[in-house]
Amino acid sequence: MFPASAYFVSVRSEARMPNTIDVTIPVEPEAAAALQDARKREAVGRIVSRILRPQPGQDPLLDAMQRLSADAKAKGLTPEILEAELAAHKAERSR
């Protein structure tokens, strides 16, 4: 379930990339506004497709999450720091 404050973007466009399928995902309001531009939607779609393109024996989403985790650890972020940041972000959004 998505939080009540989640914004959803669902895009349909006449000028589409070949072999694509429309999807709906929750994003923040600023992202939803930016994705109203067709060129930005196509660029984001290509990025998402590259990141999540299935390859035999691999889970691209898990791979991306592991890379992000490794990068965060390399920068000195601990799970405790990330939890505190997330809690602060949620508290700020709920005001």
Give tens-digit pLDDT for 16-41.
Answer: 556 888 888 898 999 999 999 999 99
Q: Residue 35: how many CB atoms within 10 A of its CB?
A: 19
- 3-class SS letters over the chain: CCCCCCEEEECCCCCCCCCCCCCEEEECHHHHHHCCCHHHHHHHHHHHHHHHCCECCECHHHHHHHHHHHHHHHCCCCHHHHHHHHHHHHHHHCC
Tell me if the pTM is above 0.85: no
Give tens-digit pLDDT for 43-75.
Answer: 998 888 887 776 677 777 888 888 988 998 899
Q: How far apart are CA 53 and CA 42, in angstroms?
A: 16
Q: How far apart are CA 10 and CA 35, in angstroms?
A: 9
- Confidence tier at 7 by pLDDT (50, 70, 90): low
Token pair listed for 48: 């998402």
What is the longest distance spanned by two Cα atoms in the chain? 46
